Structure 1
């Protein structure tokens, strides 16, 4: 595993995760692509924010 990009695999997981979230949104909203895209986008933002917090190791701080 390349030590240059130890967290690269985490970001690669965003691709299948996004597809999964989109598919889940479509199933839940019975084909409402707008809701699916919004749900998928918010999911990716949440995961990205979590990964960034994990990268810094600080987590949520005020």
Structure 2
């Protein structure tokens, strides 16, 4: 999953990487749909302890959903 411009009220979307984990343009397009951008390895989940962990997820959000809870 990658960040895309215009998908939320942010100034700097999450970075994307090429298949060899090199930073790539935010305009490269998702590798899931013919593009060359993927999640970077530093975006992998991490554990705080045995019962709490954090991770990232990609989601397709239409313009109708932006800014809604």
Q: Which has more radius of gyration?
A: 1
Same fold (TM over 0.5): no
In terms of fraction of residues, the more strand-rich structure is: 2
Question: Relative to total residues, which structure has the larger helix share, 1 or 2?
Answer: 1
State TM-score, norm by structure 1. Answer: 0.29
